[in-house]
Amino acid sequence: MKAVRLYGPEDLRIDDVEEPGAPEPGWVTLDIGWAGICGSDLHLYQDGPQFPITPAEGKPHPVTGAELPFTLGHEFSGTVTAVGDGVKELSEGDRVAVMAGVSCGECVACAAGKSNICRKVWGLGLSGAGGGLSAAVNVPAHVAVPVGNMPLEHAAMIEPLSVATHAVRLAGVKKGDIVVIAGAGPIGVFVSAVVTARGARVIISEPNAARLKMALDTGVAEIGLNPMEEDLEEKVREISQGRFADVAFDCAGALPVIRPLAATLHPGGTLQLVAIPSKPLEFDVLSQLHLTEIRVQGSYGYTREDYDESIEKVRSGAIDLAPYVSAKIAPADIVEKGFAALLDRAGTAMKILVAPER
């Protein structure tokens, strides 16, 4: 079968690899439905393997022991084709969305119910133990979440949608809140969709006119603005009639955006960081934190609770993922029609899905 494998910086190859074989106890075999290309995949392609998240040259992954090259793809869906001993919650033919992070269930984070930040976590499509950019893969049964009759192209987007769901849940967004979102890329739009589904009002800030238009046209944002042309704080003051925002999400990771974003919050509001800034974040602690008592918190990955909520929202029609499928491509086209399109800063691509190929 074909698999998209990373060898090093800008060294991506379509290899013929063996089928995964019979699943071990507690695992299942999946035929891949679709696999999405994530921003993390783009970083790995541009910058190369990132130890200890992935194997690196001369450095096996600390949990899986896998070495380079490894199969990419951690946003994917599939159909169960074989079930290992002891698996009772899944059957052959079940359609599933896959949670990429495999937690240990024993560390202090797992004991606290935060399996998403497990201290021994390893990732499908990252840690060298199989990925979704292939035709089939074996995965632990507990990370394969049934989606019913949901189209598999939509199920492949449950992973990034759950990243958004987790951030919104942490921030405590509720009906009637005013929410400001910086960034209308895939995660920003998904955060907007989850916030809107919860009954909050969304103001989205994005300099890319096409992305801003998509957020407005799909109804996940009520108001959009270009922060290069309008003063974000003043606009939020005007829209909220002086109340300011309850919650603000950074989904851009650009340092010049984050401090103005904090200024849109009312005293005691929440600044939820979703994107990862390229440099350390600085605040004037007295004026920006003490005298505002805003809460600044991070968000990472998702839990099963977030997957269940995301799946329910899609199946009920509260969130429509169809508009965000920008293209469906073959593995052979992944660089030219996939990575290149997503790396184009002036482009409009949201999610590009890759078909399996044997």
pLDDT in tens, 105-130: 999 999 999 999 999 999 999 999 89
- Asked if residue 309 is part of any domain, the answer here is no
Tokens 């969130």 label which residue? 319
Q: Write down the pLDDT at residue 148.
A: 97
Range of the domain at 64: 2-157+321-354
Kindly state whether residues 139 and 14 are assigned to the same domain.
yes
- The answer on 61 and 117 residing in a single domain is yes
- Kindly state whether residues 67 and 195 are assigned to the same domain: no
Q: What is the CATH number of the domain that holds 17?
A: 3.90.180.10
pTM, whole model, 2 decimals? 0.96
Cα dihedral across residues 91, 93, 98, 102: positive or negative? positive
Residue 307 lies in a domain: no
Considering the domain boundaries, does residue 313 fall inside one?
no
Please check whether residues 218 and 262 belong to one and the same domain.
Answer: yes
How many CA atoms does the CB half-sphere of 158 hold within 13 Å? 37
Please report which confidence band the pLDDT of residue 279 belongs to, taking 50, 70 and 90 as the band edges: confident
Asked whether residue 243 is assigned to any structural domain, the reply reads yes
Token digits for 68? 């380079």
Domain CATH number, residue 220: 3.40.50.720
Mean pLDDT (the chain, rounded): 96
146 and 94 in contact (C-beta within 8 Å)? Answer: yes
pLDDT higher than 90, residue 23: yes
Residue pair 98/132 in contact (Cβ under 8 Å)? The answer is yes
Closest CA to 26 of 120, 142, 145, 144: 142
Strands (E), 119-253: 122-123, 136-140, 144-146, 178-182, 201-205, 223-225, 245-250
Q: How many structural domains comprise the chain?
A: 2
Measure the CA–CA gap between 95 and 103, rounded to whole angstroms: 22
Contacts of 241 (CB under 8 A, 6+ apart): none
Same domain, 125 and 252: no
- 46 and 105 assigned to the same domain: yes
* 346: pLDDT strictly greater than 90: no
36 alpha-carbon distance from chain centroid: 10
CB atoms under 10 Å from CB of 348, counted, come to: 13
> Tens digits of per-residue pLDDT, 286-340?
999 999 999 999 999 999 999 999 999 999 999 999 999 999 999 999 999 999 9
**Is 90 a domain residue?**
yes
Q: What is the pLDDT of residues 226-246, one digit of tens each?
A: 999 999 999 999 999 999 999
Q: Are residues 96 and 10 in the same domain?
A: yes
Residues 55 and 147 in one domain: yes
**Residue 266 confidence (pLDDT):** 98
**pLDDT score at 345:** 78
Q: Taking the mean position of all CA atoms in its chain, how far away is CA 57?
A: 27
Measured N-to-C along each axis, helices 186-197 and 209-217 cross at an angle, to the nearest 10 degrees, of 20
Residue 198 covered by a domain? yes
